Amino acid sequence: MRVSTAQIFSQGVDAMLERQRELTQTELQLASGKRILHPADDPSAAARILDLDEASQRLAQYQRNADMAQARLDQEESALFGIEDLLQRVRELAVQGNSDTLSAADRQSVAAELWEHMDGFVQLANSRDANGEYIFGGYQSLTEPVSVVDINTGQFDYGVATGQRKLKIGDNREVAIGDPASIFKDFAASAGGTTDLGNVIWSLATSLEAGNADPNALTDIDSALDQVLETHAKVGARMNAIADQQEANASVDLAVSDVRSTLEDLNYAEAVSRFNQQLTALQAAQQAFIKVQDLNLFNFLR
């Protein structure tokens, strides 16, 4: 078999280039701290890393949703606290206004404060969040949920404020981020049928303004307060659920990061050892090439 000088030179150069490529690959791994620089380095692990990246991004979105839901419920809770305090004061005024010791003029003074509290209820029920959306707006978050239709009859409108908007905070978990203004209506009235929170305050204020007691007021106020407190308790339960899910998401994300690190991160001790071996191999290939290039016919003819 005839071996030409060109072929020998080509084989030597190819060997050195291959050793140089291997050495460069290891240098890049050491510089980046990553075992896999290209999908071809480990196709199976690279595919798995893509799945883990997607899972990590999904968990990050869940955490953002949870933070948003928590902030929204914090604002709802503040509004509910305000309404509860308002109802407690209305109840105190109802007890005071129904006292037999009060004159008609005294009851009219109490009624004046009650009208202010009725306006205060409407303002709290129309509270907005940081984005300018109505907290108790339900699905129609840009439409004012509560309004006085007729001050002379005590008719309030809670019209389109229905439904609960929800956010996904886990693979299998959604949480309501608010309650509609309908929570302030349709509870049993002591006189029969149903009533709403605004009308309860209006009825008491109207009676006292006319100098009369309102024997149904305390029962209706307590019913309204119970409904608000029940909603408040549900809000608290949702906030606890969000906190639990955030912890669960963080635990899963940590596990995902650990698996990703196992697949992708470089074993520095092994890489440094391999680098030294490859450097030695490259130097050997270079020395061999120097020796081989002297093996030609002209060296024997000198």
Per-residue confidence in pLDDT tens, the chain, 302 aa: 455 556 656 665 666 666 666 667 676 767 666 776 667 667 888 888 889 999 999 999 999 999 999 999 999 999 999 999 999 999 999 999 999 889 999 999 999 999 999 999 999 999 999 889 999 998 888 889 999 999 999 999 987 656 888 999 999 999 999 999 999 999 999 989 999 999 999 999 999 999 999 999 999 999 999 999 999 999 999 999 999 999 999 999 999 988 887 777 666 567 667 667 766 766 666 666 666 655 555 555 55
Residue 87, CB-side half-sphere exposure with 13 Å CA sphere: 28
Name the 3-class secondary structure at 134.
Answer: strand
pTM recorded for the entire structure: 0.76
In a domain, 264, yes or no: no
Q: Please state, in angstroms and rounded to a whole number, the distance separating the CA atoms of residues 184 and 197.
A: 5
Share the mean pLDDT of the chain. 85
- N- to C-terminal Cα distance for the chain? 26
Q: With contact defined as beta carbons under 8 Å apart, do 165 and 176 qualify? A: yes
At how many degrees (to 10) do helices 268-293 and 5-32 cross?
Answer: 160
Question: Structurally, how many domains does the chain consist of?
Answer: 1
In a domain, 185, yes or no: yes
In a domain, 289, yes or no: no
DSSP per-residue letters across 139-206: T-TTS---EEEETTTTEEE-TT--S--EEEEETTEEEE----GGGGEEEE-TTSSEEEHHHHHHHHHH
CA dihedral (125, 130, 133, 136) positive or negative: negative
Q: Looking at residue 195, which CATH number applies to its domain?
A: 1.20.1330.10
CA dihedral (35, 40, 44, 48) positive or negative: positive
Q: With contact defined as beta carbons under 8 Å apart, do 35 and 269 qualify? A: no
Per the DSSP assignment, residues forming a β-bridge with 178 are none
In a domain, 224, yes or no: yes
In a domain, 206, yes or no: yes
In a domain, 228, yes or no: yes
In a domain, 95, yes or no: yes
- 200, burial (CB in 10 Å: exposed 0-12, middle 13-18, buried 19+): buried
Q: Please state, in angstroms and rounded to a whole number, the distance separating the CA atoms of residues 271 and 33.
A: 10
- Give the tens place of pLDDT for each residue, 208-235: 999 999 999 999 999 999 999 999 999 9
Name the 3-class secondary structure at 15.
Answer: helix
- Give the tens place of pLDDT for each residue, 37-47: 667 667 888 88
Residue 160 is part of which domain span?
53-257
Distances (CA, A) of 244 to 28, 59, 160, 166: 42, 14, 32, 17
Angle at CA of residue 159, ends 156 and 165, nearest 5°: 130
In a domain, 4, yes or no: no
